[in-house]
Amino acid sequence: MTLGCKWRYFRIIVILLVLFILLLGSFLNTQVSLLVPLFSGQESFHPVTNIMFLKTHKTASSTVMNILYRFTEKRNLTVALPAGQLFHLGYPWLFLTKYVEGFKDLNGTFNIMCNHLRFNPTEVEKVMPNNTFYFSILRNPVAQLESAFVYYKGYVPAFQKTKSLNEFLASPLKYYNETLSIKNIYARNNMWFDFGYDNNRRGEGYVRDAIREIQWRFQLILISDYFDESMVLLRNTLRWELDDVVYFKLNSRSEKSIQNLTRENRERVKEWCALDWELYRHFNRTFWQKLRAVVGLKRLAREVALLRERQRELMDVCIQDGRPKNKTQIKDANLKPYQSGEADILGYNLKQHLDNETLARCQRMVMPEIQYMAHLYSQQFPTNPPKKIRLQ
């Protein structure tokens, strides 16, 4: 065979190979693109892996936690999980190291801490390495209190005797007694309480000092009302890939369990939860300052659009009917979210016939926090009795 002839054969084989790969790609369609992370390689140099997330209540914190759990698995990291049969790290009591499973044996190796706890910096610092990145999330207190009211309706004494949040806000002190029960923390300045401060105290100096201290201890405070913008800022700050912060909304309620507040009562929340309101106002301001400085508004718009596009793409791949479902519609017990109070908490059904790799990825994205925590616990402590899960 002449050299020219060999060269012709070689070119034909290369063309056939390219055609074959293109054909295979179109057959597997989205499932191929699912496995190719956005921005992979570009941002993955030295991503931050030692992270403490203060999981505040009713602030989209379960969605953030799901992101952190997935990152934990992807990078083979160690999480500080609740000990024994606990589901929280001692909440509502101030955090102590004894609430962490295996604290003594694993000390010095924890990367991630993200379960509900009441912040107690000296004890948290005993668990987490010196170079830990601290962050948290806040929500507009009007929406946060409304969400908490419905979720903790039967649990919180201050909420039990009222039909609606409108009724409660008309005269809150008729129902709220700060010394009656620790459970009342959910009824007033709950985010302030989560940061470890007194949710019933007043005073300009006290508020200023507390906010200054939070700013000093936490490198970043996200705002759940701007969740996608928050994810872009988080990704850029931690040098993560965009795919690491793609999410499905978790722990949301159906429309029918949302209460509408009168305009007057929306204003009243700002007085009733004045500490949370100050906290939110301050960190909403610094959030936008950071976004401008770290990301810039042009790149922000581009990355938010990419994030939403990727979310839609994954919705198409993973989620049956492309929307969340209520508890009676969710087939797989492992994907049923915990139900509380009068909230109708939604979850997801996955599409059928997903290949194993895609199924595992989709399952992780929709797995409610209790099941995911139990899964990581069994993985990290295979010889311990598994967590007993209750979903009501």
Ligand X SMILES: Nc1ncnc2c1ncn2[C@@H]1O[C@H](COP(=O)(O)OS(=O)(=O)O)[C@@H](OP(=O)(O)O)[C@H]1O
The residues of the shown chain that bind ligand X, judged by CB under 6 A, are 57-63, 143, 147, 224, 227, 249-253
Is 67 or 317 the residue whose CB approaches ligand X more closely? Answer: 67
How would DSSP label each residue in 211-270?
Answer: HHHHHHH-SEEEEGGGHHHHHHHHHHHHT--GGGG-----S-B-GGGPPPPPHHHHHHHH
Q: Which is nearer to ligand X, 59 or 265 (CB)?
A: 59
Least distance in angstroms from the C-beta of 154 to ligand X: 15
Give me the count of residues in the chain.
392
Q: Which residues of 191-205 are buried (b: 16+ CB within 10 A; e: fewer)?
A: bbbbbbbebeeeeee
Task: Name the residue nearer to ligand X (CB basis): 142 or 207.
Answer: 142
| Minimum CB distance to ligand X, residue 253 (Å) | 4
CB of 230 to ligand X, least distance (A): 9
Q: Which is nearer to ligand X, 57 or 375 (CB)?
A: 57
Three-state SS for 135?
strand
Question: What secondary structure letter does DSSP report for 81?
Answer: P
84 C-beta neighbours (distance < 10 Å), count = 10
Of 250 and 374, the one with the shorter C-beta distance to ligand X is: 250
Of 172 and 324, nearer to ligand X (C-beta) is: 324
Q: What's the min distance (Å) between Cβ of 96 and ligand X? A: 21
Are 26 and 330 within 8 A, CB to CB? no
The burial of 371, by beta-carbon neighbours within 10 Å (0-12 exposed, 13-18 middle, 19 or more buried), is given as buried
Yes or no: say if 99 and 90 are a contact pair by the CB < 8 Å rule: yes
Tell me the closest approach of the beta carbon of residue 246 to ligand X, in angstroms.
Answer: 11
- For the CB of residue 192, give the shortest distance to ligand X in the complex, in Å: 15
Q: C-alpha distances in angstroms, 272 versus 167, 169, 179, 190, 221?
A: 14, 8, 17, 11, 23
- Report the DSSP beta bridge partners of residue 54: 136
